[in-house]
Amino acid sequence: MNDNNDSLFNQSLEKGLAVLRAFNATQRTMNLAEIAAAADINKSSAQRMVHTLEQLGYVRKHPQTKRFQLTPRVMEIGYNYLAADTLVDVANPFLAELAQFTGETTNLTEPEGLDMVYVARFVAPKFIPIHMPIGSRIPMYCTGSGRAYLSALPAADTRQILEASDRQAHTRHTLTGITDILREIDASQQRGYALNAEELFLGDMSIAAPILGSQGLPVAAVHVVVPSSRWTLEEAERKLAPSVIECARAIRASIRTL
């Protein structure tokens, strides 16, 4: 919880949002004690927050288990963001064209903290090893889209993000050392696109390029999923990288103000 002395800061709202964020794929349903622990608030606060959210329709109690879970109404908040995001509207036709040309799944991700968040996705009819729905988060340090974004930031900002990241090894291919990751980011900057070779998920590779905003700083990244069952990384670079770069540039050219 935030402990600053900002007189305008609403701690009740903070606690309510913490309760909503406490639910996830590993904690789909919880009782009050579990909610309090997950949200890092006391049980009485958890009870007030859950009651309010239940009355507003964002949380419900299962009639048999008596455990709480989120309702579909929570998605309204995320949908409103996507509906208001000019970048998504601009990018969608270019992502669709890229998906048609490559025959593979294309994605748009935006930065949030130390992660990239999926905000648009065109799924190819072919099998892809990993399903990443809209709203999914992936760490910047070990993903193509994250490194593409980092490659367009000032060097000091890039290093700060890497130092703050929990650089764990998700697979045997994951780079975790800052020097090694910076070397990859420098290479990405030189060639105009970034790579991920099974560093987050086995069988899942990607080619990504940053999308720059009106101030010349990155605002998002576009990437194509390259399953190792159909591509070698070298072949994908040769055949797909130019199209990924062109897609990112076309989106940038169509952005008026961000």
To the nearest whole percent, how much of the chain has pLDDT over 70?
97
Higher pLDDT, 5 or 45: 45
Mean pLDDT of the chain: 94
Q: Return the pLDDT at 256.
A: 64
Q: For residue 23, how many other CB atoms are within 10 A of its CB?
A: 19
Buried b (16+ CB within 10 A) or exposed e, 103-112: ebbbbbbbbe
> What does the block give as tokens for 246?
């062109």
- Euclidean distance between CA atoms 74 and 71, whole angstroms: 6
pLDDT tens for each residue of 85-132: 999 999 999 999 999 999 999 999 999 999 999 999 999 888 888 889
Confidence of residue 240 (pLDDT cuts 50, 70, 90): very high
Q: Return the pLDDT at 257.
A: 52
pLDDT tens for each residue of 13-26: 999 999 999 999 89
Mean pLDDT within 22-37: 94
Ordered domains of the chain (ranges, CATH): 11-74 (1.10.10.10), 85-254 (3.30.450.40)
Residue with token string 């908040």:
77
pLDDT tens for each residue of 153-201: 999 999 999 999 999 999 999 999 999 999 999 999 999 999 999 999 9
In the predicted model, is pLDDT for residue 244 greater than 90? yes
Whether pTM > 0.85 for this model: the answer is yes
